[in-house]
Structure 1
C-alpha cells in the first residue's frame, strides 16, 4: 500500500497510534482533538495476541449441555414423522426437541411471521432445522444430528431452485413493488419508442456468503425467577431478546442478551442469528441447564441465507451522447423460502438503481421470488449494490454501442447540482460532489494515459488482454424504515476520572467502539485510554436498532456524545459555581479543566463534583432528523445524506484460462470529516476487496435436482485472499465535511465502499471487449469466474457461449 503510516506517542493515549494522514493528526491531538485522528482499534492488541474473547471463549458453567440441529435432507416435501426415541437413544443425547415442544410462537421472522425455528410439516429447503438435539458434548450432539435422516419419514416434492423459475410461475414471497417516475402519463413508453438508440437485455448476478470468521453461536444460561441470559454473536441484541421471549412465551424483561464482540457479521448476524439464539434458549429453558449451540462451517452454510442473487430484464433509450432518456427495469431477487428482510433489501435496491445518475423517465419493478433455498438476508450494502450494479452495466453497454469512452457516458448522465438532481423516489441530491471526485481521481490515477497505454498493449498481445474502468458511488445512509433511526447510550464517569460507555451498537471488528470512545473522550476533553466501552447488553440500553445500514457510528456516536455532554455541562456548572466564572467559559482539554486562570486535573474536578453530590452518569439519545418514507408509494426522503466515492481498476485476463488479476486500484472516497481515518481506510479497502470477491470468485452452486448447496465450505467457495489484493492499492479520503449535522460532520463507511469494486467487473468487461471487434459488448455475468470470462470471450469472438 502506498500510504504514509506512522506511529506517534502522545500524552493521554496508550501505546502507539497509527496515523493514516501524516503529521496533521499530531497537531490535532496536541490541540486536544480526539476525533479526526487514528488511535488503534480498541481491541487490536487483543486480536493480534489471540486474547480477544468471543462467545465460544466464555468459560462454560458446570452442567453446560451442547446442542446441534438436525436438518432436512430434502429441499421440498412434507414431514410425516420423526423417531424421537431412536434419536434419544444415541450416545450422550439428553433431549430432542421438535416444533411441538415450543411453548410460544414457532417463528423467528424479523418482519413477517413466516420463518419457523423448527420445521413443523412443510419442508422448505435442504438444510432446514427439524429437530434440536441436546447432548452432554458437542461432538455427541453433532453425531446424533448427522443421523437424523435415518429417523425421518418424509414425502418429498419437486423443489423450485431458481428465481427465474419462480418468477415464471408468479410465485413471490411478497407483492411486487414498483418505483415509477414519469413527467407525464405515458412519457416513459414514448421516450423508449422515440429514443435515437435503444438497448435491452437480461443480466444475472449471483449471491454472496457472508463468511464471517466466527460462525453463528449462542450460549443460553437460565437465571433466577424464570429468566434467561443469552450470550449471542449478533448484530441485533434487542431483536434476539424479543424473539426469544416470543418463542418461550415470556415477556422481554425476562430475557437479557449480551454481545461483547463478533468475529464479523456483514449482515449475516442481523436477523439470522435469531434461530440459533431461540433454539439455545428453548433447550436451556426446558432443561434448566446452560446450553451452547455453535455451528460448524458446513451447517452454517446449509442453514443460513446470504446476499440475494438478482436477475434483471431491462429496456433503455438514450441519445447520441449516451444520455439516458428512459429506463424500464425488472429486478428479480431470489428471496429463498421466507421473507426475512427481503422487502427492505428490494426497496434499497430500487432506490439505488440510479447510483450517481439522473434518470428522467424511469420504471423499476421489484419481484421477490420464493424458492426452496435458504432464506436470503442482509449483507453489507443491503440491496444497494444489487440495484446500482445494473445501471453501471447499462452505462458500459451504451458506451460500447456508441463507441464512446465509458467514463464520458457516465459523466454525461451524472446528477447535477441545481438541475437534474432529484432521485426517482423524490429526494433531492444535495451536497453533490461526485463530479469533483471523478475529476480528482481521473487525474491522480492518470486514467486517460493508462487507457491509451492499455489499448496499445492489447493491440500487441493476443493471449493477455488488459482493461480499465472508472466507476462512481452515490450511496444513501439511513435505515429505510424511519423508526429504526434511533439510538441510546449510557455514560458513567467514575471518581478516578475513568469513563465507561454502553451503547446499543455492536462491535464486529469495524471499530465502532473505538469511534464511540473517541467521541466521548473528545466531548469530555480526556485521553482515549480513559474511556472504555462495555459489552452491548439489552439490560443497559433498551429497544435498540441493529448495527446495520452503515449507521453504527452515526447513531450511537451521537447518543454517546449527548450523554457525555450532559455530564460535561453538569461539571461546567459545578466548576463555575465552585471556582468562579460562567459555565460557558469552562474549558475541558487534554485531561485539564480550565476555569479562568485556574487549571486543574479532570480527575480532581470529578472528585470535587462527586463529593458535592453532582450526578456523574447520564443517558443519551439520538433520532436521525429529516428522514421520512411512504412504503406504498415508494416516495420520500429515506436517506439523511449520501456518501460518494469513485474507483479506477486495471485488470489483466488470460484468454486461454479465463483467469484475471487486479493489477492496480485507485480509490477516492468521501467519509466526510472522518472520525478515525485509519479505521475508515481499512473499511474502504476491506469493502472493496470483499465486493470484488462477490463479483469475481464467490460462486454459489446448488444441485439442480436435489437442491443441496454444493459450495458449502472453503474448499468449494472461494473468497478473496491476500494474494488477490493488488500490490498497487492507492486509497485516499476526499475532504468533504458532511453538510448534515452528523457526528462531527463524518460520513458512514461501512457499506458504500462495496460499490467501488464495480470498477473491477467493468474493467474485466473492458478486457474481454478487446478480444472482439470495435463494437464488442461482452455478455459477462457475475460473478466473473474463469468460466464466465471464457464464455464471454467466445461470445464476442462470434461463437456461442
Structure 2
C-alpha cells in the first residue's frame, strides 16, 4: 500500500454538552444550532479510515473486560499493603512491626533487607531505593510492606506499624531548591543567537514570572501488580503498565535473576496517562520481592489515597522571562528560566524537562533566545511522565509571553501569534528551531486563519468587548492558541517496535505487538492496519495481551508513538505473510506476485478469485509459512543529548483551539462556555477514536489549568489526596458548545496510513482556556490599573487564583 494514499476520514464533528444557564447568559453564540455527531463513516471494504468501535467497548460496557483485579487468583495468594513514611525528610531509625505481626492473618513484613538483588531500582539515574533504607525522602515513600491473607488484614496491620524517624530539613518548593542548588540532575542551557543583544536592541521589553501546578493522573484503575512465582525461579507478573519491558527488567534486577526468567503481561489498563510508564514498575518490584520472600503469589493494589501519596504527578514548573519585541509583537530577544519541581529522585525528569525546552517555542520562531532549565530536587513524590511529557509546560510559557506582549501593545493576540509563526518554507529563513531542527511541514499559516473564520473569532471579540464594557461582574475572555508538537521519543533508542502476526488455518488472524492498551484504542487501530494489509474483515483480526515473552525489549507506549511504531511493525509482519501467500498463488496461476490483490476477504489473481480462508488452508497444506515478525525503526531522527540539538522528532502534529470563558469577578468562579477545535491527525485511521482522544485530551488539559490543584502543606504532606479535595473535570464542566474538526491533509512524512499521532498534542489546545481566562481577568481588573501590565494568573485558575490575579486577594 502507498502510505501517501488518501484514505477516507470521518466528517467534521460538532458536539453539544448539557445546557448551562450561566454560560448561556454569558455567551450569545452558544445557542447556535449544531450538526449532529458523526460516529461512523460510510461502508467501505477498507478498515482504515473508518470509525470502528473500540475492540473492547462491548466487553467493557458489559463488565466482561478483565483488568488485573478481575483475574482469577491462584490458590494461596497473599495480599500486601504499603508502609508509608510520615515525614518529608528524615533519618529512618527503626521499623517496629511487632504489633502488626500479632494481628490475625498477617504473614510478615517486607523491608529493604528482603530484596535479594540490587537495593536500588533499575531506573535511569539509579537514585531511588526499592524500599527506604536509612532515610526517607517524602511523606508517602514506601518503607516496606505488610503481607497478609486478605487485603483488609494487610491494611489494618499497616496502621499498627510504628516508625522511628528523626526529621531533617526538607526542601518543599522550587524556589528553595534553586536557592539551595538542590537538583536531581544538572541544569541545562540552550542558546541560539545573542539574546542579550536582541533584548538590548528591542523596541519594547517585558519581564514576568508565573507558575503552573502539577497534575494527578487519576486513572480509573489504580496502580496494581500481581506476582506469581513459577517453577525453576521463573516469574509471571501481571502489571498495569505502559512499559512491560521495563517492568521485566526492574523485577529481574531486584530479584537478581536474568530477564528471560520474568514474563510480564498486560491485557489492558484502566487509564495510564504516563503515570504507569515507570511507576507501575515500583508495584511490580514490591509484589515480586514479597512473593520471593514468602514463596507465594502476592497481589498489591494501592487504594486511591495511597496512590496519591505514593506516586508522582505532572511536574510543577516556575518561570521567569525577559522578552524583547517590535511594534508588531514579533519577538526579537528572549531569556527564559524554567524550574521543574522533580520531587526526590530523577525518574523521567531529564527527558521531561528536555521536552519542555524543545517546546518552549511552540509554533514560533525565536531568533535570539537563551533558555535555562533547572531540574529541582524537593522532598515530595518523584514526579513522572504525564500526557505531553513536559511539552505542555513548555508551550504554556511562550503562549503566556505572547499574551502579555499583545496586552502591552494593545493588539489582538491572534495577530501577535500569527506574526511570530515559523515560516511557511525555507525562503524567509524562519523555519529552524532553537534546537536546530528544520520545520518542514508547517500548516499553521492555513489552519489558524481557517479556525478563526469557522469560530467567528473577530466578530465575537467585538461582541465580548461590548459585553465587558457594560457587565460589572461577569467578564468574558476569548483566545486562540495553536500547538506544534514533536512526535518521537527524545531518547532515540526507544523509537523502535516489534510485532508478530499469526494466520491460522481457518483464516483467522492473531496479532501481538509491543504496545499497551490503556483505553486509547491502540489495539483497535493495529487490528485495522493488519486487516487492510491482509485484505480481511476487521472482525477476523484479534490483538492479544502485551507480553514480554512474545515481543521482547518493547518501548513504552508513550510519546504519542504507539500507533506509529507498533502499527507499522504489525503492518510489516502482516505484509510478510501476505507476500508468502502471494508467491504461493503466483505459483498456482503462473503470474507475477505484484498482480495479486488481497481485499474483501478474497485473494484475487488475473486468473482466479479465491477466498482468503481457502488460500490459507491450501498454503498450509503446501508448507507455506503463515506467521511472521515485523520490526520498525523511526527514520530520519538524530539527537545530541549533550547539546540538545538535532532532529529529535520525525514530524510535528498541529492544531488550534478557540476557547471562550466567563468569570465572576466577585467569587473568582469561571466557566468554559465554548470551544472550537481544528486539529491535525493526518489521514485518520479511526476518526471516532481520534476525535475522542482530542476531546479527552482537551478536557484533561482544561482540568490541569482550571480545577486540578495539588496542595502540599508546610510539612510536605499532600493535603489534596482524594476526590473530595482534588477536582478533575466533571460532566458539568464540559463546554456547552464543543466542536471538533479534523484537518484533512495527510502526514507529509511516510507514516502508517498517512496518519499522525493524536494522544498528546490535543492536551495543549487547552492552553487556549488559560489565555482566555487571562483575557477575562484583564477585562475585570480594577479601573485605573495598568491595562498593559502582564496578568499573573497561577495555574490552575481556581477561584482563589482568579481573585488573586484580579488583585482582590493578597499574594
Give the TM-score of the pair, scaled to structure 1. Answer: 0.95
> Does 594-603 or 465-474 show the bigger shift?
594-603
What is the aligned counterpart of 2:756 among 715, 727, 747?
747
- Do structure 1's residue 135 and structure 2's residue 145 form an aligned pair? no
What is the aligned counterpart of 1:375 among 371, 375, 382?
382
For CA contacts below 8 A with separation 6 or more, give which structure has more relative contact order: 2
Match of residue 31 from structure 2: none
1:433-472 residue pairs with structure 2 within 5 A?
433-472=443-482
What is the aligned counterpart of 1:729 among 728, 735, 738?
738
- Write the distance in 1 (CA, Å) between the matches of 2:442 and 2:94: 60
1:43-54 residue pairs with structure 2 within 5 A?
43-54=56-67
1:761/1:383 CA distance change after superposition, 3 Å: same
Per-residue CA deviation, residues 232-282 of structure 1 (Å, 9 max, x unaligned), is 000000000000000000110110000000000000000001111001011
- Write the distance in 1 (CA, Å) between the matches of 2:285 and 2:197: 54
- Do structure 1's residue 388 and structure 2's residue 409 form an aligned pair? no
Match of residue 199 from structure 1: 206
1:489-568 residue pairs with structure 2 within 5 A?
489-568=499-578
C-alpha displacement of 1:85: 3.4
What is the aligned counterpart of 2:192 among 161, 167, 181?
181
Match of residue 25 from structure 2: none
What is the aligned counterpart of 2:271 among 255, 261, 264?
264
- Write the distance in 2 (CA, Å) between the matches of 1:136 and 1:256: 25
C-alpha displacement of 1:47: 1.4
Match of residue 704 from structure 2: 694
Conserved? CA contact 1:318–1:326, under 8 Å: yes
- Write the distance in 2 (CA, Å) between the matches of 1:20 and 1:536: 33
Match of residue 765 from structure 1: 774
C-alpha displacement of 1:633: 0.7
Match of residue 10 from structure 1: none
Match of residue 221 from structure 2: 214
Per-residue CA deviation, residues 163-201 of structure 1 (Å, 9 max, x unaligned), is 11111111111110011111xxxx321111121111112
- Do structure 1's residue 123 and structure 2's residue 136 form an aligned pair? yes
- Write the distance in 2 (CA, Å) between the matches of 1:396 and 1:413: 12
User: What's the RMSD between the two structures over aligned residues?
Assistant: 1.4
Match of residue 627 from structure 1: 637
- Write the distance in 1 (CA, Å) between the matches of 2:104 and 2:394: 50
Match of residue 480 from structure 1: 490
> Does 50-59 or 549-558 show the bigger shift?
50-59
What is the aligned counterpart of 1:671 among 661, 681, 684?
681
Aligned length: 774
- Write the distance in 2 (CA, Å) between the matches of 1:684 and 1:146: 43
Match of residue 612 from structure 1: 622
Q: Secondary structure at the match of 1:261?
A: coil
- Write the distance in 2 (CA, Å) between the matches of 1:391 and 1:513: 36
- Write the distance in 2 (CA, Å) between the matches of 1:20 and 1:251: 52
Q: Secondary structure at the match of 2:232?
A: coil
- Write the distance in 1 (CA, Å) between the matches of 2:13 and 2:651: 28
Conserved? CA contact 1:335–1:370, under 8 Å: yes
Q: Secondary structure at the match of 2:251?
A: helix
Match of residue 349 from structure 2: 342
Q: Secondary structure at the match of 1:176?
A: strand
Conserved? CA contact 2:213–2:709, under 8 Å: yes
Conserved? CA contact 2:780–2:806, under 8 Å: yes
- Write the distance in 2 (CA, Å) between the matches of 1:777 and 1:2: 37
C-alpha displacement of 1:583: 1.1
C-alpha displacement of 1:107: 2.1
Conserved? CA contact 1:108–1:274, under 8 Å: no
- Point out where structure 1 has 5 or more consecutive residues left out of the alignment: 6-18
Conserved? CA contact 2:208–2:790, under 8 Å: no
What is the aligned counterpart of 2:333 among 326, 332, 344?
326
- Write the distance in 1 (CA, Å) between the matches of 2:239 and 2:251: 12
- Write the distance in 2 (CA, Å) between the matches of 1:744 and 1:693: 32
- Do structure 1's residue 155 and structure 2's residue 166 form an aligned pair? yes
Match of residue 233 from structure 2: 226
- Point out where structure 2 has 5 or more consecutive residues left out of the alignment: 1-10, 16-35
What is the aligned counterpart of 2:77 among 64, 74, 79?
64
Q: Secondary structure at the match of 1:336?
A: coil
> Does 99-108 or 292-301 show the bigger shift?
99-108
- Do structure 1's residue 241 and structure 2's residue 248 form an aligned pair? yes
Conserved? CA contact 1:20–1:38, under 8 Å: no
Give the TM-score of the pair, scaled to structure 2. Answer: 0.94
Match of residue 359 from structure 1: 366
Per-residue CA deviation, residues 86-137 of structure 1 (Å, 9 max, x unaligned), is 3322321101111011110122253111111100011100011111111000
Match of residue 92 from structure 1: 105
What is the aligned counterpart of 2:652 among 622, 625, 642?
642
Q: Secondary structure at the match of 2:42?
A: helix
Match of residue 407 from structure 1: 414
- Write the distance in 2 (CA, Å) between the matches of 1:21 and 1:593: 33
1:572-611 residue pairs with structure 2 within 5 A?
572-611=582-621
Per-residue CA deviation, residues 580-618 of structure 1 (Å, 9 max, x unaligned), is 322111111110111114111100000000000000000
C-alpha displacement of 1:509: 0.0
1:707-718 residue pairs with structure 2 within 5 A?
707-718=716-727
Conserved? CA contact 2:14–2:741, under 8 Å: no
Per-residue CA deviation, residues 704-737 of structure 1 (Å, 9 max, x unaligned), is 1x21100000000000011111121010000121
- Write the distance in 2 (CA, Å) between the matches of 1:198 and 1:745: 43
- Write the distance in 1 (CA, Å) between the matches of 2:724 and 2:119: 35
Conserved? CA contact 1:20–1:677, under 8 Å: no
- Do structure 1's residue 145 and structure 2's residue 152 form an aligned pair? no
C-alpha displacement of 1:40: 0.3
Q: Secondary structure at the match of 1:429?
A: coil
Conserved? CA contact 2:344–2:380, under 8 Å: yes
Conserved? CA contact 2:322–2:334, under 8 Å: yes
Per-residue CA deviation, residues 441-461 of structure 1 (Å, 9 max, x unaligned), is 000000000111111111111
C-alpha displacement of 1:3: 3.0
- Write the distance in 2 (CA, Å) between the matches of 1:193 and 1:509: 51
C-alpha displacement of 1:2: 8.6
Q: Secondary structure at the match of 2:13?
A: coil
